[in-house]
Chains A and B, each alone.
Chain A
Amino acid sequence: MSKTPKLLMVLNVLSLILVLVGYYLALFYAPTEKVMGDVQRVFYFHVATAWVGMVGFILAAVFSAIYLIKKDMKWDMLGLASVEISLVFFFITIVLGSIWARPAWGTWWTWEPRLTTAAILEMIYLAYLLLRQGIEDPEQRARFGAVYTLLGGLSVPMTLLSIRLFRTIHPVVIGGGGSETMGMTDSMLFVMFYSIIAFTVLFVTLFWHRIRLGIYQEKVERLKSEIYN
Chain B
Amino acid sequence: MRTNQVTAYKPSFIKSIFAITRKDISAEMRSRELLSSMLVFSMLVVLIYYFALELDIKAREAITAGALWVTFSFAGTLGLNRSMAVEKDRGCLDGLLLAPVDRSAIYFGKMISNLVFMFIVEAIVIPLYAIMYNVNLLVPGFLWITVLGSIGYVAVGTLLSAMTVQTRTRDVLLPILLFPLVIPVLIAAVKASSGFIQGLPMEEILPWMNLLIVYDVVFTAGSYMVFDNIVEE
Contact = CB atoms under 8 A, between A and B. Distances in A.
B230 A143 contact: yes
Contact of A136 (B159, B168, B173, B230): B168
Contacts of A127: 173, 176-177, 180
Nearest to A157: B184
Contacts of B160: 148, 151
A148 B163 contact: yes
- The prevalent SS among residues of B at the interface is helix
B187 interface: yes
A165 B232 CA distance: 39
- The prevalent SS among residues of A at the interface is helix
- What bracket does the count of chain A residues touching chain B fall in? 20 to 34
Nearest to A143: B229
Contacts of B169: 130, 133-134
Given A131-B177, A134-B173, A163-B187, A147 B167 contact: no
A143 B232 CA distance: 9
Interface stretch (B8-16, B39-47, B213-221): B213-221
Interface string B167-179: 1111001001101
A161 B211 contact: yes
Interface string B121-154: 0000000000000000000000000000000000
Given A120-B183, A131-B173, A147 B226 contact: yes
Interface in A12-65: none
A123 B180 contact: yes
A127 B174 CA distance: 10
Given A135-B167, A140-B166, A154-B218, A130 B176 contact: yes
Interface string A79-109: 0000000000000000000000000000000
Contacts of A200: none
Given A134-B168, A134-B169, A140-B166, A152 B229 contact: no
Interface in B175-233: 176-177, 179-184, 187-188, 191, 207-208, 211, 214-215, 218-219, 222-223, 226, 229-230, 232
B115 interface: no
B68 interface: no
- What bracket does the count of chain B residues touching chain A fall in? 35 or more
B35 interface: no
Interface in A128-145: 130-131, 133-136, 140, 143-144
24 contacts: A123-B180, A124-B180, A127-B177, A127-B180, A130-B176, A130-B177, A134-B164, A135-B167, A143-B232, A146-B229, A148-B160, A151-B160, A151-B219, A152-B180, A154-B218, A155-B182, A155-B184, A155-B219, A158-B211, A159-B187, A161-B184, A161-B211, A165-B191, A165-B208
Interface of B: 156, 159-160, 163-164, 166-170, 173, 176-177, 179-184, 187-188, 191, 207-208, 211, 214-215, 218-219, 222-223, 226, 229-230, 232
Closest 5 A/B residue pairs (Cβ): A134-B167, A158-B184, A134-B169, A123-B180, A134-B168
